[in-house]
Amino acid sequence: MKHCNALAQTVATLACGLLLAGAAHASALEQFKSFVAGTKSAKGEFSQHQVKKLESGGTKTSTSSTGTFVFARPGKFIWTYVKPYEQVLQADGDQLYIFDKDLNQVTVKKLGNALGSSPAAILFGSNDLEKNFTLSEAGTKDGVEWLKAVPKAKDTSFEEITIGLRNGLPEAMELKDTFGQLSVLAFKKIERNPALNAANFKFVMPKGADVFNN
């Protein structure tokens, strides 16, 4: 399945919200804690690309993927890749479904195992972030405050995650895996706390799809 493993772990990957007044002057950690506490659901758009280290010492950047996301805490989200390939990662709070439209193939995983100390747990999980991550300030660049999140679990495939915030909104996320590969995401058109319910996240199995349970 195209991008399957990377997409499942970056699902995330990811959603944002408006924070308290004055957040523009707050540190990244203060902004992000306010975002987590005050954003129960959100929707918006994203773009994503990967940067790979080459044996020659250089880097290679993948074609950008674009799509939409919607989430409701805890553990409910729909992360939809529109271009260049159509793929949906959808969680109903119990199961994670990864649907590859071209192959008409669905992979089903228990959400707990799929999230863990993954990037998705930061934005789509519970509010108890510091249970699974060590959080610290990572400096300021071009007006964006950066926060670093290092998974406490030893078996995660990610080495560290950094989140860029400006004016109380997460603008970007960078995911560095244990192989030195970097996934870079940018967010826009964020709507905070739209009206959602559990039925919005119920996955409807596509007709004739091949189903794999992991």
Tell whether pTM > 0.85. no
**Pair of tokens at residue 47:** 């773009």
In the chain, the domains with their CATH numbers are 4-192 (2.50.20.10)
Whole-angstrom distance, CA of residue 7 vs CA of residue 183: 10
**pLDDT band at 8, cuts 50/70/90?**
very low
Provide the mean pLDDT of the chain: 82
Least Cα distance to 79 among 6, 87, 2 occurs for 87
User: pLDDT for 142-159, tens place per residue?
Assistant: 889 999 988 888 777 788
Is pLDDT larger for residue 8 or for residue 42? 42
Question: 100 pLDDT exceeds 90?
Answer: yes
Is-contact 15 123, C-beta < 8 A? yes
Which secondary structure element, helix H or strand E, spans residue 137, and what is its range?
strand 133-141
Is-contact 122 133, C-beta < 8 A? yes
Q: At 110, which amino acid appears?
A: K
Least Cα distance to 174 among 207, 212, 144, 130 occurs for 144
Neighbours of 112 (CB within 10 A): 12
Distances (CA, A) of 18 to 2, 23, 76, 141: 33, 9, 19, 20
